[in-house]
Structure 1
Amino acid sequence: MIVTMHAAERWVERVNPTLTVSQARSAIAAHTRAIETAIAFGAHVVRIGTGQKLVIEGDTVVTVAPRDFMRTPATPLPRVENVR
């Protein structure tokens, strides 16, 4: 798992402003198990206990989204009719 500098900076901005960027990377790495599980499922977002979301592309944490961030799907899910 890779944590970008941008993600570490957003962690400091949105989660814990008392940390350095290096400490923020370690704080994100503390969520490795959840991140790796999300990657295995094909998820792109992991919500952490404080409400912020870790945004993932491939095996890389690219940013930390604020609590009110809501990802909108590119295409709506198809409707499934109840067919017998």
Structure 2
Amino acid sequence: MTCDETFYHRYLNGDDAGLEALMKKYGNPLTLYIDGYLHDVHEAEDLMLDAPLMWTSFPAHLSAPISYTFPTKKSERPLRS
């Protein structure tokens, strides 16, 4: 398990130190990322602070690793002019 996964699992098990470590590491970058969409740094900060609530609200099957399949050129539809 990576360090971030360990912190996340510690947080899920009730250890606030895990959350604090994740927020120290990702808080500012996440705020700036959200602000890029909202163009309102105060709203971005509010959403970033709500992020831990969102992490625990997903059903367990959604937090499992996901594999993505991207279409190849052969399966893409041709563009019509």
Identify the TM-score tier after normalising by the shorter chain: 0.3 to 0.5
More strand by share: 1
Task: Give the structure-1-normalised TM-score.
Answer: 0.32
Task: Give the structure-2-normalised TM-score.
Answer: 0.33
More relative contact order in 1 or in 2 (CA 8 Å, sep 6+)?
1
More helix by share: 2
Q: Rg: which structure is higher?
A: 2
